[in-house]
Amino acid sequence: MDFSQVLDKCGNYGRFQVMILLLYGYTNILGSLHYFSQTLITFTPEHWCFHADLKGLSMEEIRSVYQNISASSCTPLLGVVNGTGVVATDRKCSSWIFDRENGYESITTELKWVCDKSPHSAVGQSFFFMGSVVGTIIFGYLSDQIGRLPSLLMATLCGGTGDFITSFVHTLPWFAFSRFMSGLSTDTMYYLMYILVFEYLSPKSRTFGLNIILAVFYCFGLMTSPWAAIWIGNWRHYLWLASLPALGVLIYPFLICESAQWLLTKKKYDKAVICLKKVAKFNGRQVEESVFDEFVTFYRERALQDDKLNSHEDTFLAMFMTPRLRRFTLTLLVKSVIITLSCDVINRNMEGLGTSPFKLFSFTSIVYLPAGVAILLLQNKIGRKGMACTALFVGGLITTMTGFLIAQLDPMENALLLAIMVGLGRFGATVSYDAEIQYAAEIIPTSVRGQAVSNIHVVGLASSSLAFYVIYLAQYYKPLPSIFISCLMFFGAGLCLTLPETLNKKLPETLADGEKFALNESFLYFPCFSRKEKNVRIDSA
């Protein structure tokens, strides 16, 4: 009797699964507040060098004074003559006038990290992403060694501590250190909770549960965080709001238990039984003791057979030792780079589009809801491969159109149209990103899922450090970032065809299973076009 059969008896979509999904939703809110805090705290509004002649002038009048001066944000004035600024060539700015968004004080406005000190914020960004690479490797490894739940707690608390420390810094070295510490949990806490939920949900409810919760709770966090920052009015206080709720994960061990599937891969059969009994009790199910005895016997015998055939322990590096798993792994690595970089550029490129970046980010975040619904309605019909391929291709088309409109239209006069296109671009990127998460988790065998998923996404996170350089391409040709990203998305759509379909299939538990998975399947195989319907029991591996 395998895991899926026992989970059916204990309840594969009962009160326990509702509880773990709600905690997954809470983790999504924490993740959204945490990930985009880096953008909100370093927001740099329009600014100009201060001069006594500018006192009492409105922002429009100040813009008029500087309208014929290049590099106006860092050019000092001798004075203002007939409404026009006279440049002081032998001076440097020491004070600035900031056009703050509803009075919001960011770290750049408080510490005057502009002009010569403008790289300071970028240094913090770099250390944040460096921390994310290190943290994903460390916590991904720990999740396969000590368990999903303790690794999740450590990652979340580490990120919250980093944000809290950041709120007290006044110097660049401390800012860099605290952002590195904060970055250690970036995406890691989300993926670890995703894997934990994934391994307790039945395959039929997995698409609904994971994607609807992600759409609702992550969307809520994204839409409210810019308004919360404006309402609080100060980047330090906003970081308190983003970090202190991380303490809530301390109650997780009292409400849910460790992944029973992970315990099975570590041959901790007694502990796996304890977890399944807890699930059964939570769901109000009565399961006979003989069921668990048969369950343990099945996995003990299977482990003995595996030991005879393969004396090596399953590891992430071992996925590169066999031809098919190596191809799947390399494809997932490249796809992670494409999708993560595309999402980051589309999500962060909010300035110069004729609308407040805060408002544009908040309003366009609503697309997470229809994105989740789209996955829910389509993924179990057209398959994982079809969903991933279509989302990337359509996203590439939308991004191309957005770049063309940015090049041709005046942002101030067409702010609404550009906002709609940005929202559509975020929709395509979000569907691609969310579809990729479940697809990768199903292709990767259970025995290395935590470490492999983390390593795949750490490569994607590392590529996020290139997002600011991609956005900077607009200095040479305004639609160039959109063109570059759309080309990446088209390439990613083609890569999806090389991966196997996972819908309605028994998922691999070991590397040996993974190597044999979907043998002889055509690159162009899609379940929705298949004439033969196979009633194959899906394992929740």
What average pLDDT does this structure show over 228-254? 91
What average pLDDT does this structure show over 450-475? 74
Domain presence at residue 481: yes
Shared domain check, 145 and 206 = yes
Domain presence at residue 104: no
Residue 250 has pLDDT above 90, yes or no: yes
Shared domain check, 436 and 302 = no
Report residue 178's pLDDT band, with 50, 70 and 90 as the boundaries: very high
Instruction: Report pLDDT for 240.
Output: 93
Shared domain check, 175 and 60 = no
Shared domain check, 320 and 295 = no
pLDDT > 70 fraction of the chain, expressed in percent and rounded? 91
**Burial of 520 from C-beta contacts in 10 A (0-12 / 13-18 / 19+):** exposed
Domain span at residue 425 reads 314-541
SS3 per residue for 61-99: HHHHHHCCCCCHHHCCEEEEECCEEEECCCCCCCCEEEC
User: What's the count of helices (H) and strands (E) in the chain, helices before strands?
Assistant: 24, 4
Instruction: Report pLDDT for 154.
Output: 92
Domain presence at residue 110: no
Q: Within a 10 A sphere around the Cβ of 451, how many other Cβ atoms?
A: 24
Instruction: Report pLDDT for 313.
Output: 62
Residues 6 or more apart from 507 whose CB is under 8 A from it? 442, 445, 446, 517, 538, 539, 540, 541
pLDDT digits 0-9 by tens, 438-458: 788 788 887 777 677 777 877
Shared domain check, 434 and 368 = yes
Contact 261, 144 (CB under 8 A): no
Nearest Cα neighbor of 285 from 294, 276, 293 is: 276
Residue 138 has pLDDT above 60, yes or no: yes
pLDDT digits 0-9 by tens, 206-237: 767 777 887 788 888 888 888 888 889 899 99
Shared domain check, 268 and 129 = yes
Shared domain check, 251 and 327 = no
Domain presence at residue 11: yes
Mean pLDDT, rounded, of the chain = 81
What average pLDDT does this structure show over 510-525? 76
Instruction: Report pLDDT for 163.
Output: 92
Contact 202, 13 (CB under 8 A): yes
Domain presence at residue 214: yes
SS3 per residue for 321-343: CCHHHHHHHHHHHHHHHHHHHHH
| Boundary-marking domain end, from 311, 334, 363 | 311
Cα atoms in the Cβ-side hemisphere of radius 13 Å centred on 314: 28
Domain presence at residue 112: no
Q: Which helix (H) or strand (E) holds 121?
A: helix 119-145
Instruction: Report pLDDT for 535.
Output: 43
What average pLDDT does this structure show over 329-335? 89
Of 103-117, 195-209, 219-233, the poorest mean pLDDT is in: 195-209
Report residue 541's pLDDT band, with 50, 70 and 90 as the boundaries: very low
Report residue 532's pLDDT band, with 50, 70 and 90 as the boundaries: very low
What average pLDDT does this structure show over 414-424? 82
Shared domain check, 38 and 63 = no
Domain presence at residue 522: yes
Shared domain check, 70 and 35 = no
Instruction: Report pLDDT for 538.
Output: 41
Report residue 165's pLDDT band, with 50, 70 and 90 as the boundaries: very high
Shared domain check, 178 and 224 = yes
Helix, strand and coil percent figures for the chain, each rounded to 5: 70, 5, 25
Instruction: Report pLDDT for 309.
Output: 58
Residue 80 has pLDDT above 80, yes or no: no
pLDDT digits 0-9 by tens, 252-310: 999 988 888 888 878 888 898 898 889 888 888 888 888 888 888 887 887 777 666 55
Residues 195 and 450: their CA atoms lie apart, in Å, by 7
As for how many domains the chain has, the answer is 3
Instruction: Report pLDDT for 370.
Output: 85
Shared domain check, 413 and 299 = no
Instruction: Report pLDDT for 247.
Output: 93
Contact 355, 415 (CB under 8 A): yes
Of 81-90, 392-401, 414-423, 526-535, the poorest mean pLDDT is in: 526-535
Instruction: Report pLDDT for 540.
Output: 41
Residue with tokens 């500018």: 54
What average pLDDT does this structure show over 135-164? 87
Residue 314 has pLDDT above 70, yes or no: no
Residue 251 has pLDDT above 90, yes or no: yes
| Boundary-marking domain end, from 311, 343, 367 | 311
Residue with tokens 């990613």: 492
Residue 9 has pLDDT above 80, yes or no: yes
Of 76-85, 223-232, 339-348, the poorest mean pLDDT is in: 76-85
Instruction: Report pLDDT for 534.
Output: 46
Contact 399, 428 (CB under 8 A): yes
Shared domain check, 82 and 29 = no
Contact 541, 508 (CB under 8 A): yes
Residue 91 has pLDDT above 60, yes or no: yes
Of 9-13, 280-284, 337-341, 388-392, the poorest mean pLDDT is in: 9-13
